[in-house]
Amino acid sequence: MKTVHFHIGPHKTGSTAIQKMIRTHSKQLEEMHSLYPVADPLINQITRSLNSSDTYSAAVDLKRLVDLCHSRQGDCLISCEDLPGVLPGRSRKRRPYPKLFENINVIRKAFSEFHCNFYFFIRDPDEWIRSSYTQLVKHGSRFTSIDDYVSFLHVQELWEETLKKARDKMGPEFIEIPYDEDTGFSSVNALLHAILGPDQKLKISQDIRRPNSSPSPDVVTLFEAVNRSGASLEAQQLARKWLQTDVNSSPVDATELEFPKWPVQAERPAWLSPQLDALWERTGQRVHSQDQPNLLPDPFCDLSDFRMRPVEASEEFPQGGRGEMENQVRILKYRFRGLPETCFLLGLCISYLRRHTDHSEHAAFLFQRLWEEEHAVLLGTLPTRWLISTFQTFLDHGANEAQRLIGSSAYFLSNILKAYEAERALDGLPPDRTYPSATPTTKSGFAGMDRFELGGTDLLLNTNALLLELASKDDRAGRVVQEFFLRTKMSNSVFSRMDQSRLAHNINNPQFSNCWSFFEDPTGGMSDK
């Protein structure tokens, strides 16, 4: 009876090296060890079917895999770390590999004409959890700390609980291979020795050095910052890509920038009502001349260096007011701790640009460079309040008229939205509660400010569409508007409440039937365009 050797992982124990060996040295394995690797797309199809409980498709493809193994002249080797299940944390199942024994049993029954051995590496639980968590935050946004991941797994004794049934039911057919954390350890060699015998001299030349593909602790910290950011999924994915690869945008040409006069010196118009005198007085107090040291980096420095370093700061709010830039630096580092230093540098530029110093042009140039050269990292990690601060900075210090127009429009919309949501919270109303009535039920406190019936206006839609149209006029400012819209779409706000309330009250006014906030039917259907 021929034997089929199934290497079934788990993840993060050298499976990639094993599968590379199978692809690269299949002929040598056949000729020197009479071991026939089977690498076929069928294996991944079977894995997907088993893990989604599609037993019919799994059975059909397993029959084809059995036929492939019959066609080989000797024992076969199959490797797939997903056979016990997906990496814990990629699905909502909290118990690691809950279908491990069930999947093995299905395979054993399909391969009843063969002798089957299943090989599973046993890695130190703490190291396996750390490595698995790193893999998850490297590619997904579900977890923000390793403690969060440990709590999700919900196991006390990782391998004892995960492997108990396989150990009890399978005996010597379930073969556990110790995984050594030493850098000289080779999963390839360990697996081949387990299959061929520990005394077998391996005849396959290979580089046994284990490549360190795991990101550094600093980069893991930055991935966690991305996952905590509240950024859109698109922005998070792009930020993770930039944090893993050496991406560089074209540098900003200083000669193309034309900054407006700062601070703005507006003259009181003759038509201004005396009732607005106090507010006009405030316009003159918005910016004060200050003598501050220049703590900014060189305007032509390599900005990509900042993205790979998380901000380090005490968890206690620093002493001293923000009137002095040295204190403001400490405050900003406290605010941005754990985020890429790119975010701190943006905050520092904005802090200078809110003041009237001798360093405004320096700060404005770095601000433009950051949004041109490091936008992916900023959009994927910045808290939303700093997107709004960015809008105001484009309004005051935009390098062209389009930036100033986009900045002003987005600044007013985002701040009014912020005030509206704050008022709702002060009223104690849940952010996702739909409106109990489809028509206004209280008297207006603002005569002439016409109110509308639910589903009877295109006000919100047109406001969003106009801002998006303006955003198209400049890439740097426009990207920030896009990210603000993407965050708004996935959050609870007046926009989502208006749309969901229309659905709750079953309102379909023909004149405004397609006037959803973002011109999309929230049920998934397309608007009638």
Question: pLDDT-derived band of residue 211, with 50, 70 and 90 as boundaries?
Answer: low
Whole-number average pLDDT of the chain: 93
- Whether residue 223 contacts residue 475, with contact meaning beta carbons closer than 8 Å, is answered with no
pLDDT at 450: 83
Question: pLDDT-derived band of residue 230, with 50, 70 and 90 as boundaries?
Answer: very high
pLDDT at 15 over 70: yes
Q: Which residues contact 432 (CB under 8 A, 6 or more apart)?
A: 492, 496, 497, 500
pLDDT at 202: 78
Taking only the tens place, the pLDDT of each residue in 56-85 is 999 999 999 999 999 999 999 999 999 999
Task: Please tell me the least confidently modeled range out of 81-85, 122-126, 184-188.
Answer: 184-188
pLDDT at 102: 96
pLDDT at 524 over 90: no
Question: pLDDT-derived band of residue 159, with 50, 70 and 90 as boundaries?
Answer: very high
Q: For the chain, where do the domains classified as CATH 3.40.50.300 start and end? A: 3-214
Taking only the tens place, the pLDDT of each residue in 335-352 is 999 999 999 999 999 999
pLDDT at 209 over 70: no
Task: Please tell me the least confidently modeled range out of 100-104, 195-199, 253-257.
Answer: 253-257
pLDDT at 205: 63
Q: What pTM was computed for the model?
A: 0.88
Q: How many residues does the chain have?
A: 529
Q: Tell me how far CA of residue 45 lies from CA of 58, 60, 84, 109, 183, in angstroms.
A: 8, 10, 14, 18, 33
β-bridge mates for residue 177, sequence order: 121
Taking only the tens place, the pLDDT of each residue in 173-183 is 999 999 999 88
pLDDT at 529: 43
Question: pLDDT-derived band of residue 49, with 50, 70 and 90 as boundaries?
Answer: very high
pLDDT at 57: 96
| Dist CA 203 CA 442 (whole Å) | 85
Rg (alpha carbons) of the chain, rounded to whole number: 30
pLDDT at 373: 96
Taking only the tens place, the pLDDT of each residue in 239-286 is 999 998 888 778 888 878 889 999 988 899 999 999 999 999 999 889
Taking only the tens place, the pLDDT of each residue in 386-437 is 999 999 999 999 999 999 999 999 999 999 999 999 999 999 999 999 999 9
pLDDT at 214: 76
The second-level CATH assignment, the architecture, of 3-214 is 3-Layer(aba) Sandwich (3.40)
Residue linked to tokens 């920030």 = 480
pLDDT at 99 over 60: yes
The H-assigned helical ranges of 245-315 are 277-283, 304-307
pLDDT at 289 over 60: yes
pLDDT at 526: 52
- Whether residue 250 contacts residue 372, with contact meaning beta carbons closer than 8 Å, is answered with yes
pLDDT at 484: 98
